[in-house]
A and B are shown apart, each in its own frame.
Chain A
Amino acid sequence: DSGVTQTPKHLITATGQRVTLRCSPRSGDLSVYWYQQSLDQGLQFLIQYYNGEERAKGNILERFSAQQFPDLHSELNLSSLELGDSALYFCASSVLASDTQYFGPGTRLTVL
């Protein structure tokens, strides 16, 4: 599959814990975006990286951080987890910094 991949598919953890979500962009794409989709807030843009550098920041909490590595994969770190962090987390990628975004299948995070 040459599309955007995300691991894991599902993650169940407890409040106060820390998790890492991983995203591999499409081959050739330099930009990675992270979104959070919850029932009450819809799809919220968190952060964008372009070629390893942070390019845009949305509604990302201070407890969350992300990075893009030299091989262009990205990780989203969520710490001090709260019940309200339970959501679907999507990654998307694009060739350029402002371009059509291709979405991954998402990681479903459940915080108990």
Chain B
Amino acid sequence: AQRVTQPEKLLSVFKGAPVELKCNYSYSGSPELFWYVQYSRQRLQLLLRHISRESIKGFTADLNKGETSFHLKKPFAQEEDSAMYYCALSGWGRSGQNFVFGPGTRLSVLP
């Protein structure tokens, strides 16, 4: 079964500190992985996807197929990074393509 787990419901860090939001997935093939972010009172929006290998707002994520992980990292957290972060997977199952979201991690960056 396709599954995405985010072990931390809430992560608090101080401004300027490094941040890592964990994401693990289970999928038998080669998945496409994404990080979505939802800032307060805003819509869910794509932060980055692994195939583009971009760095957005200082965030990066590396797909580790051996550990089936796609952790999101930023070296120096900013207060404006406080938001809800969702890891998501796009893959193929018996009934076609599927999109699976993790439960989300709320990041709180403290001043």
Question: How many residues of B are in contact with the other chain, CB < 8 A?
Answer: 18
- Whether the pair B43, A103 counts as a contact (CB closer than 8 A) is yes
- With A42-B103, A90-B44 as contacts: A100 and B97 at CB distance below 8 Å: no
B13 to chain A, nearest CB (A): 23
- Are A55's CB and B101's CB within 8 A? no
- Whether A64 is near chain B, meaning CB under 8 Å from some CB there, is no
* Interface SS, B side: strand
B45 pairs with A43, CB closer than 8 A? no
Q: In the bound complex, how far is the Cα of B101 from the Cα of A58, in angstroms?
A: 12
Instruction: Give the secondary structure class of A's interface.
Output: strand
For the complex of A and B, list the 9 residue pairs with the smallest distance between their C-beta atoms, beginning with the closest.
A43-B101, A56-B97, A103-B44, A45-B99, A56-B96, A42-B103, A103-B43, A100-B46, A57-B95
Q: Could you tell me which B residues sit within 8 Å of A by CB distance?
A: 32, 43-46, 49, 86, 90, 95-104
